[in-house]
Structure 1
């Protein structure tokens, strides 16, 4: 267990204030994920959208006493080092040149304490699926620690490696990069002994000069491995591996020289059948998937199992039990006004904390219930493991816990008195009483062997024949895809109109609020009111306010889109007499689409009314590109942008203060990044539709109908 004083040695930092030698149990980067204040050290990282230094006072008030900072003047209210004792008398402070680099150094030091084999996975696609499937396939042989979900970034990797403890016998971590120079940092943290290079494609291509450069950068993860697994048919990868002289284990479907030869037989129903040859042994393998991507991912896993000399019969049996990774964190409507977060895929400690974070940030219902199985992959002693689970449940203020499995049942006394325990899923279903679940959000999280999909079916059975399932992971993936295209200072307004394009406005808005978007937009006032009533505090723009709705907009702090003089007058008529009152408004300008908005000829009258009404504050000016998704209209789009810039400049001069400007929609973000201005509006792209078609493969579909 690290102590605070050791952090200074590891990071080459300077201790600014030392009050007590606390131990370091948790690496905290997000103030919303605080579980154990006494054992947490907070790294104040400056990101593109947030500065961790802004949250130090809040965390101190909540019990955190260990902080890694870059500059004391970055902490609100602290002018110099001497004032730390006044503001934070019980805290330890360590100053470093980069909090992110310090996080990397601490994680790398932690990794160096263990000599277990570690498999690192990178590639353009399939990293998370290969990691999850490999963990399933090797679970009978190893006590595995792995990246939670898609924790493969400069922040996700150190948090993943921090999970390592003396009980683990194998680590499996994924690593993803977007720019040159990033992989060396991740390699130093993971320190892999083996590697898998899944494939190479266009994902994140904009960060590299060429495909060859991207491959070379990714291969830096494997410079010191004993063996690298990859498909011999991927010629660019093979050439780069040979040039780097990395020891390899390969497989091929095209009869290339390789360790494993694959001969596809074909699809039979929902199975894919193939023959493989390895070390003069020929065998048949039946895969429970038929799509090309899943077959490729399975073959990477097959290569690893063969290299480990797992018997062929055992390999065949294990592949039959593979579960689809897509069954992760799906939001579903359930009986009696309840909502399910369906995580019936696996149950590990890292994934549990992420799922609990999501659960408590769903504010549509007050009551929160967790149905959880035995945790089978932690590598921790039982007492330690379930004490930690109980701590997580308490810290997240879960109202009711239902534990299923013989192991968690043995530790019932560690949990609250109202908790319930069952030895098997069948026992729970035998005692299941639907009426005891009313208006609550329920996290269903279990290891695959417990067949929690039967529990999900019981909660859904009485709804209707067809269910809309929303994949929250996919939505966050899409949000981050568009965020990666923006300058650090560019804000994001997200459209949640029309029930979030059918995906569930409350749940989606909660998730977007958690991921710190800047604005939400709804079509009608009642949508905005409903979001406010369900705990959404983000600024909300209302696109279609009616003349009789402005009093309600004031009451719920909603911000109307003002697109005509008539709507402006309706807004002004109901303003309260209080001269200090301020109503935020958004002005829509017509630059050529001719679908509402002020034209050039309207501006003088608009300016006159604004000057006479100081209670109105123009917070943004925007317009809409008529053909952003089609190259055919590029010239017209540029003309619209030019008109908008000219009109917006006039508005800013008249109001006398800076105003947010935005013109790009989802398609515009992709095709016209040079016109990001102050903010962009993300709509249909968030839900998996890339209107230009150029980067559709980079997005994930968010919703699906199941019957």
Structure 2
């Protein structure tokens, strides 16, 4: 695992630009573009990329972390403020990163497989890795690194020890593929499919196809299905081609039969190839997985593998879990399960997520042998040891003979076991408690057994929180803000039912400016979980002022009574200039100072040294409703008038904010100095038109089938015999009821759930812990997953059926429902 090292002078010459070199012997082996995700600091080159954030704003942060080599496009005064660092100055840092990757790629003459398509790129890449790894030492894109930045970072991973490369490329608009083709230079091209993804970036399907195929301009071999190029009128790339299709006699691999097994766990796929009938057993039954497996089958045939070898390997394919999951663990621990693959790249990504967790002071990594170490195992585990130091890991639990053999490489607190069973037999002696634990194991070590042993046993119904979607929604709203506008995110009510520190950690990592909670105890819980962001308490209780002050929580002041009580408490504690947030009532008539109250407020504030007004804010009543726009304008106007008056009397500027989620997009003039992002963070914004929102669904509620019953027409179901079978059919009893937050109003067909892709109605009354579904005509078995809501059966549709709002649905999910957080 020795990465080719470049001197800083070599890199400056490669990107062909001026530079300020102060450490001429600096050696670069690692690339970075995010100051929050830094690995081998001594040998890292940091690229200040301009995107949603400007990487130049974080150069000094990276410098303070120990980085001494930078590529920037904005010189600023870095040479003076970072005196012992190297700076390479370029017109465009992304282009410089790509240029460096092109040069690095040119140093190797190994076969490279380039993969693109609308869907399935990452699955096909990971399955080809599983299928080809027995013969080859393979470098591949980590996770789904397929963007303008992800591809060069992936290609940078190529080393002398590799015999094959698998890189995926994704584009979302015209003109992006040329750069990726120049970096990957695939000898073998694989097109997974052409579908609906990223349609907005192209004028037509024809243009999208043309752009994607540019990846294969110079490929020796191009593997594809003709059905996806049926409407394409251009030339087919590749000096040679290999095609696959269903019921297409002209295809090199013609699928003629596709039959699901009796136990519904596999599909037997037969095809015609070179005049023979061949077959493989695909260990999946859904259409997308079968097609991805056939694409891999065709690729291996095109590479010269025998049908028998391919059949034996495809039958052993395992699902690609592209996400790491954060779960509640035993003894007040947090378990991060990321065992789907193990190499240095994916380990680095997972360690970044571990470092992001602040709810425990202690961080533990449980790590198995890393496959493919070969002759350079010593160098590999030395690199891992440096990673653990840089990522603030406190303890390593190593599992496997190889990592145990290199125990002396690790300086952190370490213990080693020969096997997974050896570790589980000695689990009590390891003492997992009050810590964040990352599980990172190669497939053969069966770390799912460790995950099961360490995860708290709770209710089977699960609320799955997609942290990528939450991050996407946050970044979307950030993109709507004017320069310099701050953002407060609402995490009250258990983050709208989604969690507390789990959500707050991500928000802190993404550098929001404030968190807001309803009550002091919510803020205290965040502080105890290691959250250091400023926290505003929207409804402070006078009785809780002591603990608020103790935990540096900042109260909303909405009346003279609350102000006087808080000031008195501060004076008794000898505190000065404590931050407060003044709430104005511009029309909500809930909490806050009315216009006529402001003179008295100013009289009280004048001369006070115990407090300092950090912000003044108000709340819009109807920012999402066009019918109320005139009232919204009046609120904004009054807010401007009152804040101007208050600031003039205070003699200093304060943060002003009135815009809630809907106002961020509908009322840009109301952004002022800060906005408050609430339910939009979770993918719901009532100001958006249905079906056209760029927001992603964050929460999915899932349960499972306990029992299936076959009933006759006229038979009744549930309490009071309210459910009546209209025809012969079957019902499924599922593990969710009103005690879990599934309201009784959703009984008797009002509620809908998804069973194996089919939307089905409830039947009968909702019970406390379960309810029944009419699954007549649906292929299902006991134990199957049932989706209560997601992006198909939405929270909004459930709220509409109940005559309420999405807030009530999300916040009503019981705490006994298990929360799982995943990050891809």
Common fold: TM-score over 0.5: yes
Structure-2 change in CA distance of 1:317 and 1:376 (3 Å): same
Aligned to 1:246: 237
Is the CA contact (8 Å cut-off) linking 2:269 and 2:282 kept in structure 1? no
Structure-2 change in CA distance of 1:41 and 1:547 (3 Å): same
Show structure 2 runs of 5+ residues with no match: 705-824
- Aligned-partner Cα distance in 1 for 2:502–2:665: 26
Is the CA contact (8 Å cut-off) linking 2:267 and 2:284 kept in structure 1? no
Q: Deviations over 1:590-623 (max 9, x none)?
A: 667x765677777777777767868443536353
Q: How does 1:434-445 map to 2 (within 5 A)?
A: 436-445=431-440
Q: Give the deviation of 1:625 after TM superposition.
A: 6.3
- Aligned-partner Cα distance in 1 for 2:348–2:443: 18
Structure 2 residue 66 is the aligned partner of structure 1 residue 69:
no
Q: How does 1:101-500 map to 2 (within 5 A)?
A: 101-201=95-195, 203-234=197-228, 238-240=230-232, 242-247=233-238, 249-253=242-246, 255=248, 258-262=251-255, 263-266=257-260, 269-279=263-273, 280-326=275-321, 328-377=323-372, 381-416=376-411, 418-433=413-428, 436-460=431-455, 463-464=457-458, 466=460, 468=462, 474-484=466-476, 486-487=479-480, 489=483, 491-500=486-495
Q: Deviations over 1:190-240 (max 9, x none)?
A: 223333444455544444445544444444333333344444434xx5434
- Aligned-partner Cα distance in 2 for 1:464–1:189: 48
Matched position secondary structure for 2:389: helix
Aligned to 1:699: 696
Greater alpha carbon shift after TM alignment, 287-296 vs 422-431: 287-296
Is the CA contact (8 Å cut-off) linking 2:41 and 2:390 kept in structure 1? no
Structure 2 residue 534 is the aligned partner of structure 1 residue 542:
no
Is the CA contact (8 Å cut-off) linking 1:541 and 1:586 kept in structure 2? no
Matched position secondary structure for 1:271: coil
Q: Give the deviation of 1:142 after TM superposition.
A: 2.2
Structure-2 change in CA distance of 1:494 and 1:145 (3 Å): farther
Matched position secondary structure for 1:401: strand
Matched position secondary structure for 2:115: strand
- Aligned-partner Cα distance in 2 for 1:40–1:372: 24
Q: Give the deviation of 1:454 after TM superposition.
A: 0.7
Is the CA contact (8 Å cut-off) linking 1:330 and 1:469 kept in structure 2? no
Structure 2 residue 43 is the aligned partner of structure 1 residue 23:
no
Aligned to 1:78: none
- Aligned-partner Cα distance in 1 for 2:197–2:138: 28
Q: Give the deviation of 1:662 after TM superposition.
A: 5.3
Q: Deviations over 1:230-264 (max 9, x none)?
A: 44434xx5434x42532454433475964433444
Is the CA contact (8 Å cut-off) linking 1:335 and 1:434 kept in structure 2? no
Matched position secondary structure for 1:173: strand
- Aligned-partner Cα distance in 2 for 1:114–1:92: 28
Q: Give the deviation of 1:147 after TM superposition.
A: 1.7
Structure 2 residue 617 is the aligned partner of structure 1 residue 653:
no
Is the CA contact (8 Å cut-off) linking 2:114 and 2:189 kept in structure 1? yes
Structure 2 residue 577 is the aligned partner of structure 1 residue 581:
yes
- Aligned-partner Cα distance in 1 for 2:204–2:560: 52
More helix by share: 1
Q: Deviations over 1:305-326 (max 9, x none)?
A: 2322333333333333333333
Matched position secondary structure for 1:27: strand
- Aligned-partner Cα distance in 2 for 1:254–1:387: 53
Is the CA contact (8 Å cut-off) linking 2:244 and 2:298 kept in structure 1? yes
Structure-2 change in CA distance of 1:298 and 1:513 (3 Å): farther
Is the CA contact (8 Å cut-off) linking 1:46 and 1:53 kept in structure 2? no
- Aligned-partner Cα distance in 1 for 2:88–2:264: 56
Is the CA contact (8 Å cut-off) linking 1:624 and 1:664 kept in structure 2? yes
Structure 2 residue 553 is the aligned partner of structure 1 residue 558:
yes
Is the CA contact (8 Å cut-off) linking 1:145 and 1:378 kept in structure 2? no
Matched position secondary structure for 1:483: helix
Structure-2 change in CA distance of 1:269 and 1:506 (3 Å): farther
- Aligned-partner Cα distance in 2 for 1:673–1:589: 20
Aligned to 1:623: 619
Structure-2 change in CA distance of 1:586 and 1:600 (3 Å): closer
Structure 2 residue 41 is the aligned partner of structure 1 residue 37:
yes
Matched position secondary structure for 1:617: strand
- Aligned-partner Cα distance in 2 for 1:389–1:30: 20
TM-score (norm 2): 0.73
Q: Deviations over 1:303-362 (max 9, x none)?
A: 322322333333333333333333631111121222211112111110111111221221
Q: Give the deviation of 1:494 after TM superposition.
A: 3.0
- Aligned-partner Cα distance in 2 for 1:258–1:672: 56
- Aligned-partner Cα distance in 2 for 1:690–1:339: 31
- Aligned-partner Cα distance in 2 for 1:420–1:354: 23
Is the CA contact (8 Å cut-off) linking 2:395 and 2:412 kept in structure 1? no
Q: Give the deviation of 1:444 after TM superposition.
A: 0.9
Matched position secondary structure for 1:32: coil
Q: Give the deviation of 1:372 after TM superposition.
A: 1.0
Structure-2 change in CA distance of 1:40 and 1:468 (3 Å): same
RMSD between aligned alpha carbons?
3.7
Is the CA contact (8 Å cut-off) linking 2:8 and 2:27 kept in structure 1? yes
Q: Give the deviation of 1:501 after TM superposition.
A: 3.8
- Aligned-partner Cα distance in 2 for 1:456–1:435: 15
- Aligned-partner Cα distance in 1 for 2:659–2:65: 41
Is the CA contact (8 Å cut-off) linking 1:475 and 1:686 kept in structure 2? no
TM-score (norm 1): 0.85
- Aligned-partner Cα distance in 1 for 2:283–2:163: 28
Is the CA contact (8 Å cut-off) linking 1:233 and 1:254 kept in structure 2? no
Matched position secondary structure for 2:234: helix
- Aligned-partner Cα distance in 1 for 2:62–2:221: 44
Greater alpha carbon shift after TM alignment, 652-661 vs 673-682: 673-682
Give the alignment partner of residue 528 of structure 1, picking from 523, 526, 530. 523
Is the CA contact (8 Å cut-off) linking 2:585 and 2:593 kept in structure 1? yes
Aligned to 1:3: 7
- Aligned-partner Cα distance in 1 for 2:598–2:206: 53
Structure 2 residue 511 is the aligned partner of structure 1 residue 516:
yes
Matched position secondary structure for 1:541: strand
Matched position secondary structure for 1:381: helix
Q: Deviations over 1:660-691 (max 9, x none)?
A: 545342x7778889987765554455456677
- Aligned-partner Cα distance in 1 for 2:208–2:695: 17
- Aligned-partner Cα distance in 2 for 1:326–1:33: 22
Matched position secondary structure for 2:237: coil
Is the CA contact (8 Å cut-off) linking 2:389 and 2:412 kept in structure 1? no
Structure-2 change in CA distance of 1:434 and 1:71 (3 Å): same
- Aligned-partner Cα distance in 1 for 2:153–2:606: 53
Matched position secondary structure for 2:53: coil
Aligned to 2:801: none
Is the CA contact (8 Å cut-off) linking 2:472 and 2:696 kept in structure 1? no
